[in-house]
Amino acid sequence: MADDLPPREAMEFDVVIVGGGPAGLAAAIRLKQLAPDAAVCLVEKGGEIGAHILSGAVIEPRALNELIPDWKAKGAPLETPASDDRFLYLTATRAFRLPTPPQMHNHGNYIVSLGNVVRWLGQQAEALGVEIYPGFAAAEVLEEDGRVVGIATGDMGIAKDGTPTGNFQRGMELRARYTLFAEGCRGSLSKRLIARFDLRDGHDPQTYALGIKELWEVPPENHRPGLVEHSIGWPLDAGTYGGSFLYHFGTNLISYGFVVGLDYRNPFLSPFEEMQRFKTHPAVRRHFAGGRRIAYGARALNEGGLQSIPRLTFPGGLLIGDAAGFVNVPKIKGTHTSMKSGMLAAETVAEALAGDHPAELTAYPEKLRASWVWEELSAVRNIRPSFAKWGMWGGLIYSGIDTYVLRGKAPWTMHHPHRDNDTLLDAAKAPRIEYPRPDGVLTFDRLSSVFISNTNHEENQPPHLHLRDPDLAIRVNWERFRSPEARYCPAGVYEIVGAEEGNAQLQINAQNCVHCKTCDIKDPLQNIDWVTPEGGGGPNYPGGM
């Protein structure tokens, strides 16, 4: 069909950046600081910068201090200093306060809306002359003679059946000497590049978690600005990695999130419902008393750490931020490391533009290895794998020894033995989990949740969730695993219909997709391939998220 379409127009830049998150924007800003005359373009699939940004977030300002030292004077929205850290272990009825691990000390950090921070970074980038195109999804990598030479944005106005509609607009070729991929966790083009250039050879598989988040407004008497509370334990069993965060910030806002490691084994587990029932715990529900839920969203995050960072360079381009995977898992923080990776990539590119334009920018990983990012990720590299190996209690004990006795300098590196899609038990061998019904006050169902993520997709467009082999949806996913996608998808996109009549069919409600990427990660046979829908589609997270 592409052959019948008119040719794409092309624009030339020195650098094209895919993704307007912390990594992409930090790279854009650093580039213009170092090379003011460079032509830099950034595309973002969200309808505006920040629309698809979902994070906790408590952020460490280290990278921001380096990038824009006078950020306070420039009005950066970092307004609530973290002041009180609490770390809890929950049983079904009780809460026990544990010593806060050093990685979770947040003195000097800020509780923010990352969406707002990113919107502000976008303004700083634009003021420096970066051309920012929100509402444009990079849909294709352009490659010539083995070198990446830019990206093409997706066509708009293509109908479900693949024919152009009255709103048809051909995508653009954005060509560049260097292309930086800053798509965040499980980027769709980054995934292709990793496969195309064998970037994962010799590295561990990437592992992931799904984070589901709600934003609440609570009465002032229940609000403790600066409180940072994390928990482990109930409602997850000791073999499932995960926990909660509760951050009190801004004017009477609470950012509540629940994170579940995607190496979970029970196909009946529903991260969404675990997230909902967590709020009913006696030690937790008081946070929300008298409050109102105002926003909802979900996003996968990387958990592989240092061992899982792939090769970062290929001819003509680089992976930066969570597209590669710089999250410090024990800290649950990746903003500062993603930003720093973007800044180091920008420094490398600025040198290359001033020099002889080498195809592959190998100075970038060298700079990273010499930076605090590497030191930080190296010190915690064994913590997450220890939980995968020994479960919660074994992982806690090992992590204590690794942190306090070995001080992150263990002479060994533990590995991630398998990919998250390989871990599910057959449904016949897994215990069923009964979840309580939502009450509509404290706990909610998926559809009312997706509603307040402001998710919207043009309905008449080709599906952006591809099943490589549609038969597998029933033959394997349903018959063997009872369709785990119907439970792990936090937006109710996947539904099994007709099961009671003995004619199970998979129905895909693609318009609900909040772009968390979990199905692309967890589908047992990797049969689901997430590709970018029309630019501007997806969630529209409000300020505050």
Question: Which are the catalytic amino acids?
Answer: 55, 299, 335, 489, 513, 516, 519
Residue 176 tokens read as 């560049």
> For residues 380 and 476, what is the distance between their CA atoms, to the nearest angstrom?
37
188 binds, among ligand SF4, ligand FAD, none (CB under 5 to 8 A by kind): ligand FAD
267 binds, among ligand FAD, ligand SF4, none (CB under 5 to 8 A by kind): none
Nearest Cα to Cα of residue 58 among 295, 283, 304, 226? 226
513 binds, among ligand FAD, ligand SF4, none (CB under 5 to 8 A by kind): ligand SF4
517 binds, among ligand FAD, ligand SF4, none (CB under 5 to 8 A by kind): ligand SF4
The whole-angstrom distance between residue 239's C-alpha and the CA centroid of its chain comes to 23
Kindly identify the residues of this chain, within the stretch 453-492, that bind ligand SF4 according to CB under 6 A: 465, 489-491
Q: Look at residue 333 and give its three-state secondary structure.
A: strand
489 binds, among ligand SF4, ligand FAD, none (CB under 5 to 8 A by kind): ligand SF4
> For residues 105 and 473, what is the distance between their CA atoms, to the nearest angstrom?
44
> For residues 495 and 515, what is the distance between their CA atoms, to the nearest angstrom?
17
Indicate the residue among 257 and 524 with the shorter CB distance to ligand FAD: 257
From residue 503 to residue 542, the character string flagging contacts with ligand FAD as x (rule: CB under 6 A) and all else as - is -----------------------------x----------
HSE, CB side, 13 Å, CA atoms: give it for residue 34. Answer: 19
**Burial profile 458-494: b = 16 or more Cβ within 10 angstroms, e = fewer:** beebbebbebeeeebbbebbbebbbbbbbbbbbbbbb
From candidates 248, 299, 381, 384, binder to ligand FAD by CB under 6 A:
299
Kindly identify the residues of this chain, within the stretch 195-254, that bind ligand FAD according to CB under 6 A: 211, 213
Give the shortest CB-510-to-ligand SF4 separation in angstroms: 7
Kindly identify the residues of this chain, within the stretch 183-202, that bind ligand FAD according to CB under 6 A: 183-185, 187-189
Residue 210 tokens read as 């799904």
Give the shortest CB-121-to-ligand SF4 separation in angstroms: 25
138 binds, among ligand SF4, ligand FAD, none (CB under 5 to 8 A by kind): ligand FAD
> For residues 137 and 140, what is the distance between their CA atoms, to the nearest angstrom?
9
Interhelix angle 22-34/335-354, rounded to 10 degrees, is: 30
Options 178-186, 233-241, 262-270, 415-423: segment touching ligand FAD (CB under 6 A):
178-186
Is it true that the peptide bond before 462 is cis, omega within 30 degrees of 0?
no
530 binds, among ligand SF4, ligand FAD, none (CB under 5 to 8 A by kind): ligand SF4
Options 3-11, 168-176, 273-281, 335-343: segment touching ligand FAD (CB under 6 A):
335-343
Residues contacting residue 40 through CB under 8 Å, at least 6 positions apart: 13, 14, 15, 16, 17, 28, 31, 32, 129, 130, 131
Residue 396 tokens read as 């806690």
Kindly identify the residues of this chain, within the stretch 308-327, that bind ligand FAD according to CB under 6 A: 321-323, 327
Kindly identify the residues of this chain, within the stretch 116-145, that bind ligand FAD according to CB under 6 A: 137-138
Q: Which residues pair with 317 in a beta bridge?
A: 179, 314
443 binds, among ligand FAD, ligand SF4, none (CB under 5 to 8 A by kind): none
Options 43-51, 260-268, 386-394, 413-421: segment touching ligand FAD (CB under 6 A):
43-51
Indicate the residue among 119 and 482 with the shorter CB distance to ligand FAD: 119
115 binds, among ligand SF4, ligand FAD, none (CB under 5 to 8 A by kind): none
HEC string for 274-292: HHHHHCCCHHHHHHHCCCE
Indicate the residue among 38 and 138 with the shorter CB distance to ligand FAD: 138
From residue 494 to residue 533, the character string flagging contacts with ligand SF4 as x (rule: CB under 6 A) and all else as - is -------------------xxxxxxx----------x---
Q: Cα dihedral sign for 264, 268, 272, 274?
A: negative
DSSP E strands, 239-330: 242-249, 253-261, 292-302, 313-314, 317-319
Options 20-28, 269-277, 360-368, 415-423: segment touching ligand FAD (CB under 6 A):
20-28
Give the shortest CB-544-to-ligand FAD separation in angstroms: 14
H/E run at residue 485: helix 485-488
State which amino acid sits at residue 286.
R
Give the shortest CB-355-to-ligand FAD separation in angstroms: 27
Q: By CB under 6 A, is residue 249 in contact with ligand SF4?
A: no
Indicate the residue among 53 and 368 with the shorter CB distance to ligand FAD: 53
227 in Cβ contact with 246 (< 8 Å): yes
Indicate the residue among 79 and 495 with the shorter CB distance to ligand FAD: 79
Residue 311: how many other CB atoms lie within 10 Å? 18
HEC string for 165-181: EEEEECCCEEEEEEEEE
**Burial profile 78-95: b = 16 or more Cβ within 10 angstroms, e = fewer:** bebebeebebbbbeeeeb
Q: By CB under 6 A, is residue 57 in contact with ligand FAD?
A: yes
Binding site for ligand FAD (CB under 6 A): 18-24, 43-46, 52-59, 114, 137-138, 182-185, 187-189, 211, 213, 257, 259, 299, 301, 321-323, 327, 332-336, 338, 532
Binding site for ligand SF4 (CB under 6 A): 465, 489-491, 493, 513-519, 530
